[in-house]
Amino acid sequence: MTCDITIKDVAKQANVSVATVSRVLNGLDRVSDQTRKKVLKVVKELNYVPNTMAASMITKQTQMLAVVVPEIENPFYTSVIKGTVNVAKERGYNTFVFSTNDSESEEDTFFESSLRRNVDGIVLIGAHKDPVFYQKMNKPVILVDRYIDGCGLDGVIIDNFGGAYEATKYLIEYGHRDIAIITGPQTFNDGTERYWGYQQALKDNGIELVSDYQKHGDWFENNGYQSTKELMKLPKPPTAIFAANNLICQGTIKALRDLDLTIGLDVSLVGFDANDLAEFVKPRVSVVKRPTYEMGTHAAEMLIEKLKQVEKNESFPKKVTLGVELQKFGSVKYLG
Amino acid sequence: MTCDITIKDVAKQANVSVATVSRVLNGLDRVSDQTRKKVLKVVKELNYVPNTMAASMITKQTQMLAVVVPEIENPFYTSVIKGTVNVAKERGYNTFVFSTNDSESEEDTFFESSLRRNVDGIVLIGAHKDPVFYQKMNKPVILVDRYIDGCGLDGVIIDNFGGAYEATKYLIEYGHRDIAIITGPQTFNDGTERYWGYQQALKDNGIELVSDYQKHGDWFENNGYQSTKELMKLPKPPTAIFAANNLICQGTIKALRDLDLTIGLDVSLVGFDANDLAEFVKPRVSVVKRPTYEMGTHAAEMLIEKLKQVEKNESFPKKVTLGVELQKFGSVKYLG
DNA sequence: TTGAAAGCGATACCAG
DNA sequence: CTGGTATCGCTTTCAA
C-alpha cells in the first residue's frame, strides 16, 4: 500500500516509456502482448497505484460525484444517499456526501467545494427556492424529491399529489369527514403537492376545508407531536389525521400514545413515507410508501448518463416522477 | 459559477504574474496592499474558483478525508458519519462516505480508491480482522468502535465491557438471576467485550452461566427477534434479557410485543445503544447509551491533529475510550 | 514585493 | 507498436 510510486518509476523499471505504461493501464491503445505483460508485472511488483488527480487534470473528469441532502440523519435521505452511492460505485465513481441542514448558505459552501474539486456531477436535494439560482449551474445536476419549476434541471420526484390524494380518499371512503393534515412548509413541491392532494380529495367529495384541521409547521417529529396534541384538544377533534412525512407521523404516533388514544379506534391515521414506529405499533399504520432507495439509484443513473453525453444536444430538462403506493393496514376505522 | 477560468486568466487580467495571484489567494507571502486588492477585484469579477486538484499535486495534500462504515443505513453509523463530516467541514476538509456491507473485499476496493485519490486520512469502522492488514496502512487512520489489538493504529472506542457489566449488574440488583444475552459475533472487541461484561457481572455475583441463555448471532434486528422467541420458548425462560446492540434490541422489543409479553412485567429488558423503539414503548426500555456523534467528532479531530504533525515522532498508537451511561427506565422489574 | 520557470503525475498527440 | 513531449492548473524556489 503505497502511493509514492509514480508512472515514471514503473516506466523506468520496465524499460519502456511512460506513454506505454499509460496505454497499458488504460487498456486503450494497441500494445504488444509482451510489453503489456512486462509492464503489468512491474506494476504489481512495485505496488503501483495511479494518481487519479493527475489524470483528471488532463481528462477533465474526476470520477467524483456529490450528493447533497438537508439532513444525513433522516432515514429517508440516508436511503437516497445509499442508492446514489451504490450506483456511483458500480459505475466507477466515488461520492461526496454533504449535509446542509437545509440552509441555503451551507449549500452554497458545498457548491463551491464541488466546483473547486471539479466533481463531475451533483445529486441534489436542495435548499434553494429560487429557480434562477439553479439556472446558473454549469454542472450536471439532478434534483431529487424537490423540484423547482423553471430551473432548467433534470429531476427525480415522486407523485406527491397522487399519494396525498389517495391517502385522503381512503379516509373519506371509510366514512371520515373530519380529516386533519399535519404537514411541513409550503416552500417546495413536496409540501405544496401533498397539501393540494389532500385539498382536492376533500373537494372532490364535497367536504369543506376546516382551517383548524390544517397544521403547517416544519417536517420534524416535534411538529407532528405538538400539532396532534392541539388537534385533539379542539372542541370537535378530527376523526382522522394525515401525517405528511415520516417524522411528523412518528410525532403523531407518540402524541396519540401519550394521550392514551388508540390508533384505528379513537383516531384514524395515515402517514406519508415509511417509518419505524408506523411499522411497529398495533394496528400498524397505513402509509403512502415511496421508493426512496430507487430515487437515489435513478438519480445517479440519470446523472451518469448525462455525463456521457456531455456534448450532445442540450435537450429539455427531464423530470421523472416515480409512483407511490398506499399501503393499508388497520389504522383507519370504518365509520360506515 | 464557472470553473473554466484559471489562475492565468486572473493574472493576465490583473497585469500580474500567476505567482502573485497564488500568493494573494493563499495569503502567504508579503504582497503589497495595492496588488492584493487589484487581484482580489479581478478574482471576483471573473468569478474565479481555484482548482483544488492542481494545488494538491504540488502540496501533496488533498484536504479530503474518507469515512468508511459497514452500513450507512444503521443510525449508529449515520451518527458517527455526521460527527466526522461536521468536524471535517469546520476544518476545511471534504469527506467521502463509503459503506462496505462489512465485507473485507469491498473495504479493499475503497482503500484503493482512497489511495488513488490521495485522501489525507481515513476514519474507519473496519471489516478486516487481521492486525497485519492494518499495519500495512501508510496513511493516517483512526479506527472507530472496533479496535484490532496490535494493529498499530489510533482508535476511538467505547467502554463496551463497562457498559455490559453495568447493565447486567443492574438486572442482578433487581433480583434477576435468569438473565439472557442476545449479541453479535465475537469477531471484534464490540462483541467480545460486551459478552465479557455480561459474563463477569454474573460471575461476580455467583450466578452460573447457562448456555441456553446466550444467543450469539449477527448484529441485525432479525437476530433479536428470533433469538427472543427461542428464549421465551425455553422450559424455563429467562426473566431478563440484555440486548447487545440497537438493532437486536429493536428485534427483541418486536418479538415480545408479538408474544404478548409486557416489558418490565413479564420480561425485563436492557439494551445497548439508543434506538427508536426503546424510546417509544411504555415502559421505556433502559439502555446503555454511548456517545455516537462524539465518536465521530473525536475521531475526526484526532485524525486532523495527526495530519498536522506528519513529520513528528511516530508516537505509540493512541486508543481513546469514551464512557457510556446506563439510562434506567421502567423496563426492569424489581424481583426483590 | 514581484516575476520566471521548474515541476507535480498523469494523458495524448505526433513522429518514427 | 512505441517514445518524446507539450500540457493540465497550480505552488514554490530563485532571481531580480
Q: What is the CATH number of domain B160-289?
A: 3.40.50.2300
Least CB-CB distance to A116: which of B52, B139, B282?
B52
Looking at residue B93, its pLDDT comes to 93
Q: Which three cell numbers stand for residue A169?
A: 380518499
From A199-208, B113-122, B146-155, B304-313, the region with the lowest mean pLDDT: B304-313
Q: Residue A57 and residue B62: Cβ atoms within 8 Å? A: no
**A213 and A228 Cβ atoms separated by less than 8 Å:** no
CA proximity to B139, closest of B160, B107, B111: B111
pLDDT band at B135 (very low <50, low <70, confident <90, very high): confident
pLDDT tens across the length of chain A (336 residues): 446 889 999 998 888 989 999 999 888 767 888 888 889 999 999 989 999 999 999 999 999 999 999 999 899 999 999 999 999 999 999 999 899 999 999 999 988 899 899 999 999 999 998 888 888 778 899 999 999 888 889 999 999 999 999 999 999 999 999 999 999 999 999 999 999 999 999 999 999 999 999 999 999 999 999 999 999 999 999 999 999 999 999 999 999 999 999 999 999 999 999 999 999 999 999 999 999 999 999 999 999 999 987 655 567 788 999 999 999 999 999 987
CA of A116 to C1' of C7 (A): 22
Region of A313 (left: φ > 0; alpha: ψ -120 to 50; beta: rest) is beta
Residue A35 burial by CB count (10 A; 0-12/13-18/19+): exposed, middle or buried? middle
From A309-318, B73-82, B289-298, the region with the lowest mean pLDDT: A309-318
Q: What is the CATH number of domain A7-50?
A: 1.10.260.40
For residue A237, give how far its alpha carbon lies from the nearest alpha carbon of chain B (Å): 24
Architecture of domain A64-158+293-323: 3-Layer(aba) Sandwich (3.40)
Looking at residue B314, its pLDDT comes to 63
**A114 and A122 Cβ atoms separated by less than 8 Å:** yes
Q: Residue B1 and residue A138: Cβ atoms within 8 Å? A: yes
Q: Is any Cβ of chain B less than 8 angstroms from the Cβ of A335?
A: no
Interior CA angle at A85 toward A84 and A91, to 5°? 95
pLDDT in tens, B47-62: 899 999 999 999 999 9
CA proximity to A120, closest of A136, A138, A102, A132: A138
pLDDT, average across residues B218-241? 97
pLDDT in tens, A96-141: 989 999 999 999 998 889 989 999 999 999 999 888 888 877 889 9
Q: What is the mean pLDDT of chain B?
A: 92
HSE-CB of A306 using CA atoms within 13 angstroms: 23
The reply to whether B64-158+293-323 and B160-289 are identical in fold is yes
For residue A67, give how far its alpha carbon lies from the nearest alpha carbon of chain B (Å): 10
Q: State the distance between the two ends of chain B, measured CA to CA, in whole angstroms.
A: 70
pLDDT at B302 over 80: yes
SS3 B319: strand
Grid look-up 499535486 returns B57
Least CB-CB distance to A118: which of B1, B51, B85?
B51
**B81 and B72 Cβ atoms separated by less than 8 Å:** yes
Nearest residue to nucleotide D3, by CA–C1' distance, is A17
Q: What residues have CB less than 8 Å from A147, skipping those under 6 apart? A: A155, A157, A188, A189, A319
Looking at residue B1, its pLDDT comes to 45
DSSP 8-state class, residue A284: P
Contact positions of strand D to protein Cβ (< 7 A): 1-5, 7-13
- Rounded distance, CA B81 to CA B69, Å? 8
Q: Which three cell numbers stand for residue A258?
A: 401519550
For residue B46, give how far its alpha carbon lies from the nearest alpha carbon of chain A (Å): 15
Q: Is any Cβ of chain B less than 8 angstroms from the Cβ of A116?
A: yes
- Rounded distance, CA B41 to CA B10, Å? 10
CA proximity to B279, closest of A261, A280, A74, A79: A280
**A319 and A299 Cβ atoms separated by less than 8 Å:** no
Q: Which three cell numbers stand for residue B212?
A: 441456553
- Rounded distance, CA A256 to CA A264, Å? 11
pLDDT at B29 over 80: no
Question: How many residues belong to chain B?
Answer: 336
Looking at residue A1, its pLDDT comes to 45
Biggest CA-to-CA distance, chain A: 89
pLDDT at B2 over 60: no
- Rounded distance, CA B310 to CA B59, Å? 13
Q: Is any Cβ of chain A less than 8 angstroms from the Cβ of B59?
A: no
**A317 and A152 Cβ atoms separated by less than 8 Å:** yes
Q: Where are the domains of chain B?
A: 7-50, 64-158+293-323, 160-289
Q: Is any Cβ of chain A less than 8 angstroms from the Cβ of B53?
A: yes
For residue A197, give how far its alpha carbon lies from the nearest alpha carbon of chain B (Å): 30
- Rounded distance, CA B271 to CA B159, Å? 15
Q: Is any Cβ of chain A less than 8 angstroms from the Cβ of B222?
A: no
CA of A44 to C1' of C15 (A): 31
CA distances from B196 to B54, B155, B183, B204, B207 (A): 51, 20, 11, 12, 14
Q: Is any Cβ of chain B less than 8 angstroms from the Cβ of A82?
A: yes
Q: Residue B97 and residue A97: Cβ atoms within 8 Å? A: yes
SS3 A223: helix
Which of 258-287 (B) contact A at CB < 8 A?
276-277, 280, 282
What is the pairing mode between strands B179-183 and B154-158?
unpaired
SS3 A46: helix
